[in-house]
Chain A
Amino acid sequence: MRNLHTDEIIKNIKEMCIEANYKLASDVEERVRGAYDQEATALGKQILGQLAENLDIASEDSIPICQDTGMAIIFIKLGQDVHIEGMDLEDAVNEGIRQGYEEGYLRKSVVGDPLIRINTKDNTPGIIHYEIVAGDRVEITVAPKGFGSENMSRVYMLKPSDGVEGVKRAVLETVKLAGPNACPPIVVGVGIGGSFEKCAVLSKKALTRSMDTSSPIEHIRELEDELLLEINQLGIGPGGFGGKVTALGVNIETYPTHIAGLPVAINICCHVNRHVSRVL
């Protein structure tokens, strides 16, 4: 049994909230900058040039990359040999978010009751996904998520007979409907299988996976490549003003499912696809 104090967790989550909003992970940054050479339209190139410049300004002048600094989505892989001491883990996570959004000059974008809609003024609560794993470490991923793209995400409960063609249709339809709203070029996270809620969580998790990695499953890897190619033939382009680069990457996660179902979730993320991971 290893002891881990919640002060450590608070400090790290605070730092990760700030880091994520000022500097993109290298896989995302490389693709945003690299898109310029792949784009064919003059306006598309101009937009991509601005996005690259925006990243420079964000880190040089300490201005968040985007004003929607997101709702804090937190994935925690808790080793079963870790003993958490100090305060409640959930309170510690939210305290980290609170401190990060305050000290990092980040926008407070969370309302308490979803219908009465009063801002909680500290960007809490976050959304926490726990997983209990082997070992005595805690792996934390902080992924602040903007809602321009979140609002364009969808879940489909397909039939088994819809097969891989049905999955492709669902992804392409979602990307088309998102169009300019999701701040293209986008990153597409797809969850296939599981149940209604499982595929949604998988699609979010897919967004936190580096685009430098592919699925370890061969036919899924091929599907990722095919979908990226087909999305980039839709013509939406940077900013939705037309062009070749509509998506920077497609990441797919899968899980076994029921004999009667084929759930598919498509979580759309903008080019500001933020995620930072640390192992404590």
Chain B
Amino acid sequence: MDQYINTPLTMDKVKGLQAGDYVYITGTIYTARDAAHQRMYQAMEEGKEIPFDLKDSILYYLGPTPAREGQVIGSAGPTTSSRMDKYTPLLLDNGLKGMIGKGKRSKEVVESMVKNKAVYFAAVGGAGALLSKKIKASKVIAYDDLGTEAIRELYVEDFPVIVVIDSKGNNLYEIVLQSS
């Protein structure tokens, strides 16, 4: 089913999303990949603040190419999510509701998603030029020294993603392999 949603990703919206749904997201989302996750995780373990409010937020696993003059952002497709698995349950326990990436997730992440009612979306890997067109604003809000791995606040319009794992734990990647 095609669905259009706006951020924040509140519980009622999460419950309406099912594995296999094609979803267009509009609103503010945040980027973080390996190094930013490691830093946020460390900060949280030490009881420190992290750079944005996790409640009902969506994280996009992205490290873009540099923008040219006049462009909002460079190529901006998803990176492989499993590298973030180690850090994800703690973020979910603290209010993160949606993640955009590509590829499989660990059992621990899926369990934490079911417990916390969260959604895992995939964007199309290797379509970074196309996806960059759906990003209307981008600014680095933390960890500038990490370069492409800094945390960015993005404003996206009709950003196309597919629900891979829903809040009940249904997994599109597994469903399609069983049916083939």
Contact = CB atoms under 8 A, between A and B. Distances in A.
A140 to B, nearest CB: 23
Interface in B64-86: 64-68, 71, 74-77, 79-80, 82
A25 to B, nearest CB: 15
B79 to A, nearest CB: 7
Enumerate the 6 nearest inter-chain pairs by beta-carbon distance, A residue then B residue, closest first. Answer: A235-B180, A242-B176, A183-B125, A181-B103, A63-B129, A67-B75
Nearest to A244: B180
Interface residues of A, number: 47
A148 B79 contact: yes
Nearest to A148: B80
Interface string B100-142: 0011100000000000000000101111111011000000000
A131 interface: no
A237 interface: yes
Given A62-B68, A67-B76, A183 B102 contact: yes
Contact of B65 (A69, A234, A235): A69
Interface string A42-73: 01001100110111011001111111110000
B26 interface: no
B93 to A, nearest CB: 25
A79 B45 CA distance: 57
B66 A107 contact: yes
A205 B75 CA distance: 27
B76 to A, nearest CB: 6
Nearest to B175: A242
Given A181-B104, A240-B103, A67 B130 contact: no
Given A55-B129, A57-B133, A148-B102, 14 more contacts: A43-B22, A54-B127, A63-B129, A67-B64, A105-B65, A105-B68, A107-B65, A233-B180, A235-B176, A237-B176, A240-B102, A241-B176, A242-B172, A242-B180
B72 to A, nearest CB: 11
Interface string B150-180: 0000000000101010000000110111011
Interface of A: 43, 46-47, 50-51, 53-55, 57-58, 61-69, 105-109, 117, 119, 121, 148, 151, 179-183, 233-237, 239-243, 270-272
A99 B177 CA distance: 44
Given A65-B128, A240-B173, A242-B179, A105 B67 contact: yes
A64 B102 contact: no
A54 B128 contact: yes
B82 to A, nearest CB: 7
A51 B126 contact: yes
B79 A179 contact: no
Contacts of B132: 63
B7 interface: no
A121 B144 CA distance: 13
Contact of B130 (A54, A106, A239, A272): A54
A186 B139 CA distance: 33
9 contacts: A58-B129, A63-B71, A63-B129, A64-B65, A67-B128, A151-B80, A182-B103, A240-B173, A270-B126
A106 to B, nearest CB: 6
Contacts of A107: 63-66, 74-75, 148
Contacts of A181: 80, 82, 102-104
A180 B103 contact: yes
Contacts of A117: 35
Contacts of B173: 179-180, 240-241
B23 interface: no
A58 B128 CA distance: 9
B58 interface: no
